[in-house]
A and B are shown apart, each in its own frame.
Chain A
Amino acid sequence: MGLHNSSSPGAWTRTGTGPPRMVWLAMVVWLLASGLAAQVEETVEPESYGEATEALKAEFDAAMELFQSVDQAESIPLFSGLIDDLLGDESLPPGPRRDILTQALFRRAEARLNLGENDAAGADLETVARIDPGFDSEALLVSPKLRQLFEQARDRVAGYLDPRLEPADAEVRLNGTRIQLRGEGPTPVLAGTYQVIVERAGYAPVERQVEVVPGATASLEARLERVSAAVRVRTAQEGVEVAVDGVSQGATRAIEPPAEPHQVDSGGVAGADEPVAADAAEPAGPLPAELIVDGLSIGDHVLELSKEGFRSGSMEVTIEALTDYEMQIVELEETRGTLFVEDMPADANLLIDGEVLFPAGSVDGDLNLPLPVGEHLLQVDAGTLGGFEHYFVLEDRGEVTVQARLQPRLVLLGILGGDANAEQRLRDALAARFDGHPHWLYSDRSEEMRPRLADLGLASAHLRAEGGADVDWQAVQAEVDRLVPGSVYLIAVLSDDLLAAEADLWTIPSAPSAAVAGNDSVELNSETGLDGWASAFAAPPAWHRAWLGATLLESGLGDGPVIAIVDPGGPLAEAGGRPGDVVTAVSGARASSTRDVGDAFAAAGERVEVVLSRAGETVTLNVAVVRRPAVVVDFDSAGPSAASLAWAAIEEARSGVADWVLALNRADAYRREAAWLEVVRVLRAVEAPRETALGQAAVDYWLGVALLETDPIAYAEQARAALGRAAESQAGRLESGDGPRVAPRARARLEALGVTGDE
């Protein structure tokens, strides 16, 4: 006999390649000694009563205070008010409200009796008996006279049912309503003729007709016939769907906590002065939910449990006898998957679905995170450095790997100017460009910043007239870094308060970049007006670029670009390329321009085949693809240099690119804004590799230029020295391995310095 399952307990197991099956932990089913009690109350007070019931209790308590005072008569109007409110609903289900009503009636009867209003008191007591024939006057400390009056009143409206049932825990329904039988003795019921059903799980129900006469006891005898086994299915979670042999049996429901005395002042009950211990009524732990399944015949059955968000399970059960069984509580496992987060920055918060799971500093590198199945939002918030957002869907036992690649955040601080129409168009255009941008996060914080901008000296008229010259951009940066942290801040100034056709887009980077403001003008009446500006935000920069080690020339004389300069030691030189060779194909594709060659190298793997025309002969070279550091120079971009600074900050945190490369990139961004002091600050401490393509020669060149731009007289000697070093460089290049050679530019600037005395 007994239920059993076919798997070993204790863990999820996999059966072959099929879906997982749940193993219920140490499930024991035993014959019930005590039988199956009622599952649930069929009538309960609606939850919506809540606060109103509390108010009624308070009214009752107030009435009871008067009732217990010397002015007991004063309590009658209060009880009456309560009774009038509640009597409108005579069919009150069992619960606090019915208790309040019956006790109020009972106490008013007592008060009336004390005033000598015996008839009125009797009427109240009769009402109590009608509402709750089982009202327990014994529990109240009242006068024998009152108790007697109540018994008389009850005998006028109710009789008694004396059930003799087998099994003893069978349930009784009177006209379809289950009644709670008294443990000992007959159970009071309202007088009348009842259709009685006696039932119990596993047994065939029995139906009788019984007439209850006021004041008399009616006998109810029934012996039920066992027809099936019954199993009490108990689950830790509520609402678990139960199916037997594929047929749904319903869902487990929470077990009602044991009945407690309702928190109504007993008013003169023995020991009423002692406070009721609130915690005494608290259950020891979460109660299981249960469902009694019957109708099970002897033999094998399949029992399935399922609930959304949890792993379903099934088991084979063997019914050996038509008796009662009880399952140990089954706790379904939540359906979960695992999120793997790679490259989690140290100084960033990790949020799932908007909730911080790991605050900054608690994770650095990789982590795995079990999560419920379904769609989630992963957010990494690294403050002014940027952030990362990624929606993902986890399946049960599934794994999702996400690289937390920080993206800079563009924050719109405001659109200034009176033309509301132009403002909205620009706001929409920015949103269209940046919402869901693959490489940038975008936040429009203009609403919350609106009152702050003027305080920071950022007003449209002022910016138009003064061109931002006297704005304390450092103060602006400090304030917005604190209030609405982002990587790049944007303030748009419309060209006119009435009919704006253009806007100035002011941008500043976040700290620690210098608060250098860039300003670009964009057209508002063109769909492509933002193109040039927005191109600066197009994609993350390529910090390394394929290095050919040569300068090509599109002369138009051959079938492709001709090799003009070959860098000694470079990939092309190593492969045997010579000046004068004409490149006709790379990686099997025709190369008609330098861009074709560059693109082919950029897309190549470790080596690339280059076909040349040399003195009428075809020569094929196998050239190594070497990637060298680069300065991000996008000549097609008219956008703000703050974007470059944001990328450099992110890359610095990632530690994937050499410091000197980042410094050169930063210097380039400052140079584009003519922030020469910042260029000097960034470059003067840089130590880059010498005699490489992009390296120290570029540092020296830009340092020399920046020093002269800063103060051509004070720094003339230092500039000469820097440019002199750059002019001596044999292999130095600007921008990248194949960028412009440094030396010719340095020589020209040195020579001009000599001719004119300054620049």
Chain B
Amino acid sequence: MTGRRAAVRVGRWSLPWRPRTAATALAVLASTVVLACVSLAIGDMNISVGRVAAVLVGGGDGGDRFIVLDLRLPRLVVTVLVGLALGLSGAVVQNITRNPLASPDVIGILSGASAGAVAAIVLGTSSTLLIPSMAMAGGLTAAAVVFLASWKGGVEGYRIVLVGIGVAAICSALTSLLLVRARVHEAAQAVVWLTGTLDGRTWTHAVPLMIVVGLVVPVLLVLLHALGALSLGDATAGSIGVRVDSVRVVALVAATLLASVAAAATGPIAFVAFVAPQVMMRVIGSPTPPIMGSGLGGAFLLLSTDVIARTLLPVELPVGIVTVVIGAPFFLFLLMARRRRLTV
């Protein structure tokens, strides 16, 4: 390539100008906004987009205001933030491990978070803070166990994925153990939660999400450059001044917190964290999963899945089931594509 690459400079910060990345990000953002409007408009009672807009700017009649602001807006916010958190978390973990199959849902972080949240539910708490914090504790524990148990002079390769399968199995056994001991009411609540659903989400679910996403995303923004350097290999990254190990640990904790708080809000929604970075990587044409792009992609993916589940399917299913049915075949496809590359 000849000529200098154009750059965007703001003060002492600069970014390379990549038209395809910017265009993709804009397109995904625009589609997400459109879908968000659709998501607010459709439901048991359809409200026209114009009336939704009226409500959002402060007008509209009482019924519309109640439906849009109190019922559908919290669900929308939860959906977008959970998608964002899962996409970011998946991209970070895939970057750190340099392994597309190692995402928080595959390596058992979501299962750990679920076990923590179920413990909180079974203890009979209705505290809005306890469920997310227990979920985060569970997710961090699972992540720590997975990484320590698969550490053998590095976490390269498939070992982490297999160890993650083992940890996920242990976590779900613990979850069942908790369910056995629970009283019927709490057990029923936990079982519904475990399928991964966006139904009936309120602001109490959205607030912890907003706090954690608001705190963690700036950290990731600071780390973006260092994470990009990590993809060049540890030695190269170290030689350009990146403190490899601390970046990795901080990024992993950030990713785990995001995935866990998402799981606390909606239950474990599988395969978004895995699929979003891989799709966005192919769309943007970048060599590694783009971190911020994956966040956007995750939000778009979850929102569109939710809208599809609510409109096209004859019956309303929990979104966690729909993401598995869409995401799992994609995983198989990727696995076989990798295999072909190995075979050649």
Q: Do A and B bind each other?
A: no
Report which A residues bind B (CB closer than 8 A).
none
Report which B residues bind A (CB closer than 8 A).
none
